[in-house]
Amino acid sequence: MKILILNSDIGYGGAEKNMAFVANELAKKGHEITFLTYRINNCLQELHPAVIHKHIQLETKGGNPFSMVRSILKLRGYIKKEKFDVAL
């Protein structure tokens, strides 16, 4: 199964740690995992070698509404192009 995990970054926080754990366990079971970050391009958690870390810089501040729409469309386009079975 092709699975996308989406989060702002892969830092030291509890959510990030749990998402990395889930990604690693699913990768061990043979699933194709992509961990997509959209705010900070770093990886402070250890990821299984099969987990793909992809970063797309998106507008995340409450500024121009048109840039927010562009960011949503950019993310949507990536998800549609890659044809993920599941997105978290």
2-20 pLDDT, tens digit each: 999 999 889 899 999 999 9
Asked which of 21-30, 53-62, 70-79 is least confident by mean pLDDT, the reply is: 53-62
Average pLDDT estimate for 57-67: 74
- Looking at residue 62, what is its pLDDT? 65
Average pLDDT estimate for 26-52: 94
- Confidence (pTM): 0.85
Contact status, residue 44 vs residue 8, Cβ threshold 8 Å:
no
> Partners of 86 in the beta sheet?
3
- What's the burial of 88, exposed, middle or buried (CB within 10 Å: 0-12/13-18/19+)? middle
